[in-house]
Amino acid sequence: RAASTVVTFDGRGRLADGMRLPLLANVGGASDAAAAAAAQAEGVGLFRTEFCFLGRVDAPTIDEQVEAYRGVLAAFPGRKVVVRTLDAGSDKPLPFANADHEDNPALGVRGLRIARRNPALLDDQLRALARAADAESAEVEVMAPMVATVEEAREFAERCHAAGLDRVGIMIETPAAALLAAELFEVVDFVSLGTNDLAQYTLAADRLLSDLGELNDPWQPAVLRLIGMVGAAGRAAGKPVGVCGEAGGDPALAPVLVGLGVTSLSMTPRALGRVAAALDAVTVEDCRRMAEAAAGAPTAAEARAAVTRAG
Ligand code: PEP
Ligand code: MG
């Protein structure tokens, strides 16, 4: 299919055998959310809240945050919206959250780690989210970026509950979190795989260096095997496993992810149609076969070739 072909999405992701696979959108603010709703996204699988405040020197007030969050929630009445707490640091500098110079910012104080040092920033955000959720009728779920330990996840869940937010999850974007998925499912309701960072940290390859693009590839079998471990832990716990990294918008990879145990995919809205079409052409059995072929391959190139053969 030519890259320019527009494939429309009918708003209901499913496999050829009828199995439902919700297809959600990644957004960074109200205008993205309106575009995602127009593209028939079933909800939002990743609201990158830091995008609302990029470049700001001072922290946004709670009122400013409520307004920004309501702008996104309003586009999805009655639908699921997964809001990620501020993922500041590294490739997303937010001066009010982390202005320190770090020699290795991708390994530095970023994401949820900032909340350890500045608890009020997270608590204010959670209060603003609870207020925005009350004011709009979307189904708000909240998740933390850059989790590496069970203690971090437990403390995050406690603080969300204290703020009145009861659907709590974490992103799985470090190998540590993938390895501990079973234990993490004991403290959260869902997880979402951030495959951009998961590839970066698994292959030890800076995602900002285009020279390392071959390593920063979700088709790398090491990344696929970690995703499979998380999928198996999700199935065992009976809890959802989403994908919200760029991998979720790759139509060739989508059946593999489903076969590895992923239960929803979130992507840039323009990818929805082609991912939906790819899933509509396969059964869950096909997905499992493709997943086994891909994760069992020794290299990313062979994983791609194996999936083409198995498809
Ligand atoms: C990811 O790491 O895959 C992800 C979805 O988060 P971000 O790209 O915002 O770091
Ligand atoms: Mg990330």
Report the percentage of the chain scoring pLDDT > 90.
89
Ligand 1 pocket, residue 245 CB under 6 Å: yes
Residue nearest to atom 6 of ligand 1 (CA): 194
pLDDT of residue 34: 98
Q: Which ligand is nearest to the CA of 246?
A: 1
pLDDT tens track for 253-287: 999 999 999 999 999 999 999 999 999 999 999 99
Question: Ligand 1, residues 193, 196, 207: which to mutate, most atoms within 8 A of Cβ?
Answer: 196
pLDDT tens track for 164-176: 999 999 999 999 9
Give residue 17 CA to ligand 1 midpoint distance, Å: 31
DSSP state letters, the chain? --TT------S--B-TTS-B--EEEEESSHHHHHHHHHTT-SEEEEEEGGGGSTT-SSPPPHHHHHHHHHHHHTTSTTSEEEEEPP--BTTB--TTT-----SSGGGSS-TTHHHHH-HHHHHHHHHHHHHHHHHS-SEEEEEESS--SHHHHHHHHHHHHHTT---EEEEE-SHHHHHTHHHHHTT-SEEEE-HHHHHHHHHT--TT-GGGTTTS-TTSHHHHHHHHHHHHHHHHHT--EEE-SGGGG-TTTHHHHHHTT--EEEE-GGGHHHHHHHHHT--HHHHHHHHHHHHTSSSHHHHHHHHHHH-
pLDDT of residue 239: 98
What number does the ligand 1 atom closest to the CA of 247 have? 3
Q: Which ligand is nearest to the CA of 265?
A: 1
Average pLDDT score over the chain: 95
pLDDT tens track for 38-89: 999 999 999 999 999 988 889 999 999 999 999 999 999 999 999 999 998 8
